[in-house]
Amino acid sequence: MADPYDAGMAYQASNPQMEPALTSLHYAYPITVFVYYIVSTAIAVLTLQTRSTDEAHGRRRTIIWLLTFIILTFFAQLLNMMVLSFCRHEVPSEQDTIINLLSCILVFGVELAGLTDSLKPVWHPYIGSFGLALVFEPIIETLSLLGRSPERPTYAEFFDISAVATRYIALLLALAFYAEGLWTARQESSTDSERQSLLKPNGHPNGDASETADGQSDGQQQEGYGSTTSDSATSGSETANSAASDPATSDSASDDSETTKTDTKADTKADRAESPWERRERQANEQMEKRLKEKGNWITYAKSFLVFVPYIWPVNNRKLQIRIALVGCCLLAMNAVNVLIPRQMGIITDSLNGDNDTNPWIAVLVFAGLKLVASEAGLSLLRQWLWIPVEYYSFGALSTAAYSHVLNLSSDFHDSKSSSDIMMAIQSGQSISSMLESICFQAIPMLVDMSVAFVYLSIELGPYEGFITVATASIFLFIATRMISGLKAARRGEVSAWFEEHYVRQAGIQGWSTVTCFNQVGHEEDRYSAAVQNRVVKSQKVYFGYILAYAFQFLVLLSGLLAGAFLAVYQVTHSDPDPASGRHATAGKFIMLLTYWAQLVAPLTFFATLGKSVSRDLIHAEQLLDIMQTKPTVTNKVGAPPLEFTGGHVVFDGVHFSYNNKKSILKNISFNATPGMTIAFVGATGAGKSTILKLLDRFYDVTEGSIKIDGQDIRDVDLFSLRGQIGVVPQAPILFDDTIMNNVRYAKLTATDEEVYEACKAASIHEQVLTFTDGYQTRVGERGIKLSGGELQRVAIARAILKRPAIVLLDEATSAVDTETEQKIQEALRVLCEGRTTFIVAHRLSTIMNADSIVVITGGELVEQGSHEDLIRANGKYADLWAKQIFVRPKDKEEAEDKAAVKEAKTPTILNDLTAEETSSELAKVNSTPALSTMSNEHSKDSASSSGSSSSDETHVEGRSRSASFSGHTKEV
């Protein structure tokens, strides 16, 4: 019996007319499927179908098995060819068929990896690929059969046809299973309502405990009376379960298991405090997810970054635009040089071997020239020289735009964000440039390099070399991205440990005085050492992970190189001229291949990490985008006229306010301040007093009602002219880390030194400033840390005096200072408030008792208003507060019991800010009001018993001679 393998080639169309068509189809088939798969997957990702899919396909596992089988049929065909060639003792000559089979293994292998990678894939890239295969396969097979010799089919042919036929059946089955799974899923969802229990879930039907979706028996979630048991539901849950339990698919569940892992980590993380860095990253990530969801797809999402275009693209600068165009030319030239260098290496080798006529000296000189052009001293230098001004333009433009935007945002923004977050976000502008740079200067040129490599190697060394390049690149990228994402958890741990170390160190150094006071140096040392140790352990873990990953990646590249090199060696050693091209494979080609491979390693490594770095940059850019898209809530109306000040008549008319539109802070506040009047706000802490001042200065706008100054609604006038008329002395003034001179001058940048001195004299700080080492040139430290509380407040008053405001807002301006300093501050304030409409917030009632009108705020409502005398007589909330403040502050019981000690020390028992005479007269007033007299008597008794003195108006009262009012008509008491 004749050897069936001898009967003819199974793979090559013996009909020459069929040959070109068959060859083209062999190449077109894998390319078409691959392009379709990549494009449709890209569209799915860009339109967020990959995120939104909730279709857990019931037949996914079956389709994975079928796809594996399909790949095996290609392998079988390939093996069949190898056996055939081996039997015939010759090298297979049907390059296109071999490339077709190898490429199909690669393309469907990529699809298999993608399908196993995701539990809920978007199906159309896979289903479309199967459809395309169903079209190509019969055409190719028919052409092959038509072209074969009319003799009896050989075993090889028979085997080949069987492989194709079974593959075809597998493809059809995959489509059928997909349709069936889809239909079942639809049925399941459409009958969902029918399967609802007729009884309430807790109605305890007579049925048995049913399997819940996660496959666990749960008596709580029984299927109720009237419901139908769904096979499909069970099969769905089965699939989910088996996917988790089946080793074949457990890997595929990596995404989901990673999510679970992340969730568990998040839970553990929640146990400890989230570091500011983690919070910032989490928030930015959430923000990105939220925005993506809102935008619906990546394209619209990316469009929101267009706000940055005017800062990145030098719109009105033609010179910079030309530079950008030249940078593009440099990149193209670099692509060309990257091909020319390996080619030149080949030429040198061939010239040395005598395989060409080129002078090796000249060839080496050309090579050196090319190397120079490709080096840091060549095109790279030129590109950077061209690019640096563009880079700095965009960096400068982005930073200034972001800074200016932040400064123009309203109080609600600044109150809700920490300053470090804002500063970090402004710096994030750099991420946008770095993202664009890595895409434009690295990703795109490298992609071009790789495509050129594929084409060039295919032309120079045949399609096998091209295929090896593409296959190695694909496998490398797949493995590298997998390994990098595998290290994600370890890397997060390391970064978080690094920040923990940073925060422990920072807390120790910043809080050095507290650490030292409480003798906790040892404790801080231990804490820091533990944090360092923790970071070192985590860093080592990541480091080892990276070393292993790199080693593995290197092995993949080495395998590719080896395969390519073997092929090249074979071609060189069997260097008969190629019948098609007439070309010889020479040693120079081999050297060219090696050089080219060395050049391709860097782009591949870069691509493996590109996704990670771009997504990190995107998250940072998102922080800035978030800020840039925030609009100020307090805005200047277009064409608003400046405030016309005619005395300072301020009217609050039914003002309501809420910071967050949820909790009402001010409710229906109405009052009237005539020009020059002093109005004081008193009330419990958190009542809303400072909020009233913020509304007047338009840090916020009222929610309802209106505020008018001299008949003009403050929302309708120019914001800057309004703030120009108002001077504020806050409770905790903030100075810049600059000289006293510059800090005071900040109120009026054009003020002369003399004007500053005058303001400081009026604020009773001038003499003290002169005693400082550098006088007015003394730097005050960060936030004025080098000044005492009283000095700080007087500098703030000097600032307000220099501004010469028409309306003065004092928010606890004399808090937390000693009596003597307070007296000086009161003096300064008297100068500041003279003849100006003044609003004062104060807790110490003695400091505002002479105000023209006192407004009592309770829980955001105005409960009383009137002069001190009126309110005392009214015997309401104010009288109550007043009585509490002027009476004795109860001393410690223990101390009170020790009467002898108290007597000896002559400790005064009545402590308030009034003079002795004033206290007596105020006590008399409150004693005359019946309700308060009881209280007064109790206090008097208290004081008498604790001090041993007989009455409260004795000279044991701590009396102070002081000015007790800020108002223009201040009286000395």
Ligand X SMILES: Nc1ncnc2c1ncn2[C@@H]1O[C@H](COP(=O)(O)OP(=O)(O)OP(=O)(O)O)[C@@H](O)[C@H]1O
Secondary structure in 3-state letters for 453-481: HHHHHHHHHCHHHHHHHHHHHHHHHHHHH
Choose one: 83-91, 124-132, 556-564, 688-696; the region binding ligand X (CB under 6 A).
Answer: 688-696
Q: How far is the CB of 422 from ligand X (least distance, A)?
A: 15
CB atoms within 10 A of CB 508: 18
Q: How far is the CB of 702 from ligand X (least distance, A)?
A: 14
Q: Which is nearer to ligand X, 67 or 813 (CB)?
A: 813
Q: Which is nearer to ligand X, 415 or 525 (CB)?
A: 415
Footprint (CB under 6 A) of ligand X, residues 933-952: none
Helix (H, G, I), strand (E, B) or coil at 592: helix
Burial of 658 (0-12, 13-18, 19+ CB in 10 A): middle
Choose one: 477-485, 515-523, 640-648, 682-690; the region binding ligand X (CB under 6 A).
Answer: 682-690
Footprint (CB under 6 A) of ligand X, residues 5-44: none
- Measure the CA–CA gap between 625 and 297, rounded to whole angstroms: 17
- Nearest 5°: the CA angle 420, 424, 429 is 155
The tokens describing 283, both together, are: 């928030």
Phi, psi values for residue 672, rounded to 5° = -135, 125
- Nearest 5°: the CA angle 400, 633, 415 is 75
Question: CA of 466: how far to CAs of 38, 449, 530, 592, 710, in Å?
Answer: 19, 13, 54, 14, 83
By CB under 6 A, the count of residues binding ligand X is 12
Q: How far is the CB of 36 from ligand X (least distance, A)?
A: 55
Say whether residue 691 binds ligand X (CB under 6 A). Answer: yes
Strand order in the sheet with 650-658: 712-713, 704-709, 650-658, 664-673, 861-866, 853-858, 678-683, 837-841, 807-811, 726-729
Q: How far is the CB of 845 from ligand X (least distance, A)?
A: 13
Q: Which is nearer to ligand X, 589 or 689 (CB)?
A: 689
Provide CB contacts within 8 A for 815, sequence distance 6+: 731, 843
Scored b (16 or more CB within 10 A) or e, 218-235 reads: eeeebbbeebeebebbeb
Provide CB contacts within 8 A for 32, sequence distance 6+: 132, 136
Choose one: 94-102, 420-428, 689-697, 930-938; the region binding ligand X (CB under 6 A).
Answer: 689-697
Choose one: 102-110, 119-127, 678-686, 751-759; the region binding ligand X (CB under 6 A).
Answer: 678-686
Q: How far is the CB of 812 from ligand X (least distance, A)?
A: 7
- Measure the CA–CA gap between 957 and 695, rounded to whole angstroms: 40
Q: Which is nearer to ligand X, 478 or 659 (CB)?
A: 659
- Measure the CA–CA gap between 621 and 223, rounded to whole angstroms: 49
Q: How far is the CB of 717 from ligand X (least distance, A)?
A: 24
Q: How far is the CB of 694 from ligand X (least distance, A)?
A: 7
Say whether residue 690 binds ligand X (CB under 6 A). Answer: yes
Say whether residue 419 binds ligand X (CB under 6 A). Answer: no
What crossing angle do the helices spanning 789-803 and 753-762 adopt, rounded to 10°? Answer: 120
Binding mask 833-862 for ligand X (x = CB under 6 A): --------x---------------------
Q: How far is the CB of 510 from ligand X (least distance, A)?
A: 25
Q: Which is nearer to ligand X, 416 or 950 (CB)?
A: 416
Instruction: Show the beta-strand stretches assigned E in 485-631.
Output: none
Q: How far is the CB of 415 from ligand X (least distance, A)?
A: 4
Binding residue (CB under 6 A) for ligand X from 685, 771, 773, 955: 685
Q: Which is nearer to ligand X, 676 or 688 (CB)?
A: 688
Q: How far is the CB of 814 from ligand X (least distance, A)?
A: 14
Within a 13 Å sphere around the CA of 113, how many CA atoms are in the beta-carbon half?
14
Q: How far is the CB of 809 from ligand X (least distance, A)?
A: 12
Q: How far is the CB of 407 from ligand X (least distance, A)?
A: 18
Say whether residue 687 binds ligand X (CB under 6 A). Answer: yes
Q: Which is nearer to ligand X, 383 or 689 (CB)?
A: 689
Say whether residue 665 binds ligand X (CB under 6 A). Answer: yes
Choose one: 163-171, 252-260, 686-694, 832-840; the region binding ligand X (CB under 6 A).
Answer: 686-694
Q: How far is the CB of 873 from ligand X (least distance, A)?
A: 25
Going by DSSP bridges, is the β-strand pair 807-811/726-729 parallel, antiparallel, or unpaired? parallel
- Nearest 5°: the CA angle 691, 694, 698 is 135
Picking from 685, 703, 759, the residue whose alpha carbon sits closest to that of residue 727 is 759
Q: Which is nearer to ligand X, 316 or 660 (CB)?
A: 660
Going by DSSP bridges, is the β-strand pair 678-683/853-858 parallel, antiparallel, or unpaired? parallel
Phi, psi values for residue 454, rounded to 5° = -60, -50
Q: Which is nearer to ligand X, 513 or 660 (CB)?
A: 660
Q: Which is nearer to ligand X, 588 or 683 (CB)?
A: 683
Say whether residue 413 binds ligand X (CB under 6 A). Answer: no
Q: How far is the CB of 864 from ligand X (least distance, A)?
A: 15
The tokens describing 945, both together, are: 């018993």
Give the DSSP per-residue string, 373-442: HHSTTTHHHHHHHHHHHHHHHHHHHHHHHHHHHHHTS-HHHHHHS-HHHHHHHHHTHHHHHHHHHIIIII
Question: DSSP label at 643?
Answer: P
The long-range contacts involving 682-685, CB below 8 angstroms and separated by at least 24 positions, are 682/842, 682/843, 682/845, 682/848, 682/854, 682/855, 682/856, 682/857, 682/878, 682/881, 683/856, 683/857, 683/858, 684/858, 685/843
Q: How far is the CB of 676 from ligand X (least distance, A)?
A: 24
Q: Which is nearer to ligand X, 422 or 625 (CB)?
A: 422
Q: Which is nearer to ligand X, 500 or 812 (CB)?
A: 812
Binding residue (CB under 6 A) for ligand X from 577, 641, 686, 781: 686
Choose one: 345-353, 432-440, 458-466, 683-691; the region binding ligand X (CB under 6 A).
Answer: 683-691
Q: Which is nearer to ligand X, 618 or 845 (CB)?
A: 845
Q: How far is the CB of 660 from ligand X (least distance, A)?
A: 6
Q: Which is nearer to ligand X, 695 or 872 (CB)?
A: 695
Q: Which is nearer to ligand X, 415 or 820 (CB)?
A: 415
The tokens describing 776, both together, are: 């007015």
Please check whether residue 790 is in contact with residue 782, taking contact to mean a CB–CB distance below 8 angstroms: no
Binding residue (CB under 6 A) for ligand X from 280, 689, 794, 925: 689
- Measure the CA–CA gap between 168 and 702, rounded to whole angstroms: 73
Question: DSSP label at 255?
Answer: H
- Measure the CA–CA gap between 606 and 610, rounded to whole angstroms: 6
Binding residue (CB under 6 A) for ligand X from 415, 526, 869, 917: 415
Footprint (CB under 6 A) of ligand X, residues 762-781: none
Q: How far is the CB of 655 from ligand X (least distance, A)?
A: 13
Choose one: 207-215, 622-630, 680-688, 821-829; the region binding ligand X (CB under 6 A).
Answer: 680-688
Footprint (CB under 6 A) of ligand X, residues 633-662: 659
Q: Which is nearer to ligand X, 685 or 771 (CB)?
A: 685
Q: Which is nearer to ligand X, 15 or 815 (CB)?
A: 815
Footprint (CB under 6 A) of ligand X, residues 264-303: none
Q: How far is the CB of 682 from ligand X (least distance, A)?
A: 9
Please check whether residue 645 is in contact with residue 806, taking contact to mean a CB–CB distance below 8 angstroms: yes
Q: Which is nearer to ligand X, 694 or 745 (CB)?
A: 694
Say whether residue 396 binds ligand X (CB under 6 A). Answer: no
Contact set with ligand X (CB under 6 A): 415, 659, 665, 683, 685-691, 841
